A and B are shown apart, each in its own frame.
Chain A
Amino acid sequence: MREVGIVGVGHPPFGKYEGSLMAMLCEAAVAALDDAGLKTGAGHGVDQVLVSSMGASQVNRQTGVASALVDTLNLRPAMAETVENGPASGASAVKLGYMAIVSGMCDVVLVVGGERMRVLSGWEATDFVATMLHPEAEYAYGLTLPSFAGMFTRLIMAKYGVTERDLAMVSVKNHQNAMFNPAAHIQLVPDLEAITEDEDALTINPYVAEPLHLYDTCPVSDGAAAVVLCALDVKERFAKRPVKIAGIGQATDTHVVAEREVPTDLFAVRRAAERAYAMAGLGPQDIDVAELHDAFTILEIVEAEEVGFFPRGEGHLAVRRGETRIGGRIPINTSGGLKAKGHPLGATGVSQIIELVRQLRGEADGRQVKDAQAGLAVNFGGFGNNVVATILTREEE
């Protein structure tokens, strides 16, 4: 089978973007093309463009975004599609780009993920994201993603002894990592005692969806991120040595969360990771760095268990021991994660993959994991009803 690598990455800072959605996407795209050493204009060499966005049509009232992007960048007549798979849109678009190259239809694919969320108020953003829930059995009740995360957290706490402090430790770790990532939205580190034990902890860190606090949830961010994929048999065209896409796995679960057989499991995470490991010929013990979808801190802990880093129910113990920090046994969310880097839905999956590329290239500066050879990203859609896992490996010269 044809092999595929990533030869260019573009990741402007997440946060508040003043320009249009299109300008934001273009900025990321051009940065990725530059990084790959591709020129713009005639002879650009891009066969296909994929744009991942969950909210372009609803939030920004723009459809046909990929077609518009291709023209704005003058990449015509490249093929173009917009990909929507909820908050997992980014990794889905990379997967589809991979498939386009493996099929032989394309040699070079540009994937651009982006979301302009800050035009919404906080609750409008939460309400928009909740439209991916079941319309009658969930959304109509006023249920949201934080509601399900809160109910899930309560079950996990009761079953495995995870505490609010454990969750706050995940948050503090990710904020610390983000201080070394100039593209991260939030550039401050909360004090663990101040958000947990101190007298006014509940004022600084109020409940959002009990038992989850403000510092357990990701912010609302604008942001775009882009990667250039290529067939490894044409890698000589590019400036940078490719990072290989070694495995991709995806799985779905029940749309209605209450219908899950084991309410404390994230089945689709487990199955997606198993498929990615099988394709890569690797296992959890081979992974040196991971980006796990921490839209809520509890998810980082349970996903780490589902992908096999820790036995079930012991993820929080690993957090206490510092195993998931940079320098620990398996550093998780070195980019700052969704918690601190931000979660511009359609950009997130692409952003996670970019962090792995930087780690595997040795370009992660102050947050570099020493001698990283293989990385895993988990991009989580719905409340875990559509999950994409991607494994990247460093290629030898």
Chain B
Amino acid sequence: MEREMQAYQCTQCGELHHPLHYVCRKCGGRDFKEVPLRGEAALLTWTKVYNLPEGYMRPSLGFCIVEFENGLRVAGQLEVDRPIFGMKVRAVVDVVREGVGEDYYGFIFKPAQE
């Protein structure tokens, strides 16, 4: 099944949010519509974390904060060998945490060109 992540656009002023807020940060509006959040983003910062919680069967995991072309900044997992400030990464939606009963899907950022 194709999974998609969403941004939430204020129907009153157009401000984009991710995740969903109950009230628009810009105009105070309370009505939002979903817009797909996908494509390329610029890498703002990253880390590699060791000693992960049980369930992550690997020695380390990359995390990052990126900025999408629409200006939205989000955090996600990072799968890039040699990260560089500002490099283009591609948003892929996949399992980011295996849950009991249901897995959780989110952003995994990968190199832009493959």
Q: Which residues of A contact B (CB under 8 A)?
A: 122-124, 126-127, 134, 136-138, 140-144, 146-147, 150-152, 154-155, 158, 206-212, 256-259, 263
Contact = CB atoms under 8 A, between A and B. Distances in A.
A208 B74 contact: no
Interface string B70-93: 000111110000000100000000
Contact of B53 (A123, A136, A258, A259): A123
A127 B75 contact: no
B44 A263 contact: yes
A240 B112 CA distance: 66
Given A143-B63, A256-B19, A154 B47 contact: yes
A258 B47 contact: no
8 contacts: A127-B53, A141-B96, A142-B56, A143-B63, A147-B47, A150-B47, A207-B50, A258-B73
Interface in B7-51: 18-19, 44-51
A127 B97 CA distance: 13
A134 B17 CA distance: 14
Given A127-B53, A142-B52, A143-B75, A154 B45 contact: yes
Nearest to A206: B50
A137 B18 contact: yes
Question: What are the 5 A-B residue pairs with the smallest beta carbon separation, nearest first?
Answer: A150-B47, A137-B19, A151-B45, A258-B73, A140-B104
Given A147-B63, A212-B47, 17 more contacts: A123-B53, A136-B19, A137-B74, A142-B53, A142-B56, A142-B61, A150-B47, A150-B48, A151-B46, A151-B65, A154-B45, A154-B47, A158-B85, A209-B49, A258-B73, A259-B73, A263-B44
B50 A141 contact: no
Contacts of A158: 85
Most A-side CB within 10 Å, residue of B19, B61, B64: B19
B106 interface: yes
A44 B2 CA distance: 66
A212 B18 CA distance: 28
A127 B54 CA distance: 10
Contacts of A126: 51, 53
A212 B50 CA distance: 11
Nearest to B106: A141
A257 B75 contact: yes
Nearest to A139: B97
B77 A141 contact: yes
Most B-side CB within 10 Å, residue of A142, A208, A263: A142
A127 B18 CA distance: 23
Contacts of A154: 45-47
Contacts of B106: 140-141
A137 B75 contact: yes
A257 B65 contact: yes
Contacts of B73: 258-259, 263
Contact of A258 (B74, B85, B97, B104): B74
A134 B19 contact: yes
A150 B77 CA distance: 14
A209 B47 contact: yes
Contacts of B47: 147, 150-151, 154, 209-212
A141 B48 contact: no
Contacts of A211: 47
Contacts of A141: 63, 75-77, 96-97, 106-107
A106 B66 CA distance: 50
Contacts of A257: 65, 75
Contact of B77 (A134, A142, A209): A142
